[in-house]
Chain A
């Protein structure tokens, strides 16, 4: 019964979305207040209905209702409760329902926080959001219905893929979808502005928090996914340039470009057409990502939902939304006059360079991702494009970006001088080069990757610090310190996010340049050295888990005879899915991770053991975290809160 209610709520949500996407649009055109006012309650009701549907599906998973096809395919009574819940979105249908739930959540937030928007713009934004809802609710109901029943329910389910039975699944997809779907707000704002035919500083200010929020979620989602792969897959890789990863990385890059160009719109009323285009493309790449992940066209061998019918449906959604938005853009872009004037060397130009590098980098990822498809269609060549290509073709753009970043961030608006911008940075440059030289001397190999990464990272980190210090103006140290703590949060956000990029760059370079690996056969009780540590295989035991059988090793990690950690790497077999997984054991540290994996028993005794030393691994996640934190600081800046506060005050009056 509960399942039927959920199913019915989903159908109702589609009907509401149809209303939300039409009436307000007509109302805004004809200036009919009543029709425009439909948008907000519709958005709220849509959220409520989709939430009911999601709740119903979760209920079916939690109670192991095996009359539901989806539950049978992805659950089992023995599965721990956490994975029964996260299993709701550990499959195509359920994850799409989560996608639609988040879409409705953003629509409702726009209705709640959109009080300060002009009535017509608000109605149009919500109408466009409604159209996206119509598209994806139809996709869900017509091709991927999660509420299908089975005529003859089996006694038990087929369990969830063991790789997905991890806390990572509970958090990674929701964040990623919050990011993907959040970019739909930027898209809706862009299309609404095109329909209005007006883009001004206020528009830049409205669209930026939404983009920022989406980008923060996307950053966290990608970092969580990368960390999950790092500890779960069993060899400590963190980024594979897999089509599916690229699918999430492309919107991230365009989103980052959009964040920066929206600043120019907000502060200087320039780059308007370009910003609108980026807002359209950012969501376009989200849709392309959805297409790549769910159609299975590019990943070909296996995928979430390897189904041509679904692929065609998403392709149609992509064609309608991108085609429509870009046509509108072509018709209206000419009317968007730039107001602000600026010289060739200025903050504006630096942000143009930032946008150029980020967009071209995204383009490289895009070409590399679809190239196998292109080559097969055009020349019947079956080929692969993988990490070596992306490392070579993508990295130069990031190097250029990092090299320019501190100088650009230091430049004033309108007119700048490179010499003056560099003045506080010479010391930073010297310091970074000195650190690079030190690292070069310390490392054993002769790879340039490590030192170059350290130079770039230090340049960006200390450059961000210098930028912050520069903001405190002139005068005595005490006065500067006083102003330092009172700088606007946006300044702190900018510096934090930039420093986060620097930290990530160092982490990536260190992992690629210096990580070491040791593969060997170890007898129980035997020890072996690893980068100044000693690893001892204490014992290996068979352990029965809730829905798996585990081979658990006890390994002691010691330094100079003192034990510092007892690690328990595991090898598990999940009988229901007949699938083994490796659970690495990691001793996390600020400067290095020790990563241990237990392999198979050997014929003449002993166990295969793989031990990795991963220098600065945590800097990857710390750096990503700093980027997200920087975004959050910027999001809570006073100028956004003032606008929100003003509205809250106004809304409080009738309540009294």
Chain B
């Protein structure tokens, strides 16, 4: 389905795109490169349809990949690199929305719904259980049943 809609501008506009991460971009320091890959996963190609900069073919994604590596080589922490990119390209490039301000509602929606739904379900189950007891036998009948079973 994604493919059908992947008529992405970035693909259509470029005759010969650089396909995703290129050999010349890869850092020689394996540790830094691994960090760069992890950071890239959280950054969105600004002109594509929900592709991160690693998977994207757009020129701007290549620029971003190089920028991330530049910052890492300069000694930035992961958080600093992401802040640096967000400062310049806006919140839009962040695939992992920050749990701050109104975004808290996004992050808390699932757990909140689980609590509400769980509460409702629990209440429902308790009512069903109450009916089990109500529809069941009376104290007297239970005693009689036990006596019969003993025999």
Contact = CB atoms under 8 A, between A and B. Distances in A.
Given A344-B129, A397-B110, A580-B17, A359 B96 contact: no
B23 A342 contact: no
A143 interface: no
B74 interface: no
A343 B16 CA distance: 65
Nearest to A607: B23
Contact of A90 (B4, B6, B50): B4
Contacts of B137: none
A307 interface: no
In this complex, the member of A164, A341, A363, A382 whose beta carbon has the largest number of chain B beta carbons within 10 angstroms is A341
Interface stretch (A387-395, A457-465, A540-548): A387-395
Interface residues of B, number: 59
Interface in A314-367: 338, 341-344, 348-349, 352-353, 356, 359-361, 363-364, 367
B55 A386 contact: no
A580 to B, nearest CB: 6
B145 interface: no
Nearest to B25: A519
Contacts of A382: 90-92
A367 B110 contact: yes
Interface in B52-80: 52, 54-55
B5 A299 contact: yes
Nearest to A363: B113
Given A393-B110, A520-B23, A225 B17 contact: no
A226 B49 CA distance: 17
Interface of A: 90, 95, 161, 163-164, 168-169, 172-173, 176, 225, 228-229, 232-235, 237, 240-245, 247-248, 270, 293, 299, 301-304, 338, 341-344, 348-349, 352-353, 356, 359-361, 363-364, 367-368, 371, 375, 378-379, 381-389, 392-394, 397, 415, 519-521, 573, 577-580, 582, 597, 599-600, 602, 608, 610
Given A378-B102, A580-B17, A386 B128 contact: no
Nearest to B96: A388
Given A235-B55, A242-B50, A342 B132 contact: yes
B114 A304 contact: no
Contacts of B107: 393
A302 B9 contact: yes
Contacts of A364: 109-110, 113
A233 B3 contact: yes
Contact of A519 (B5, B26, B126): B26
Nearest to B92: A382
A393 B37 CA distance: 21
Interface string B115-129: 001100100111011
B94 A302 contact: no
Given A293-B1, A302-B49, A387 B95 contact: yes
Nearest to A92: B4
7 contacts: A229-B3, A234-B20, A342-B129, A360-B117, A387-B52, A388-B42, A521-B23
- Nearest 7 pairs of A and B residues by beta carbon: A386-B95, A388-B96, A364-B110, A367-B109, A341-B132, A242-B50, A242-B2
Interface in B1-33: 1-9, 11-12, 15-23, 26
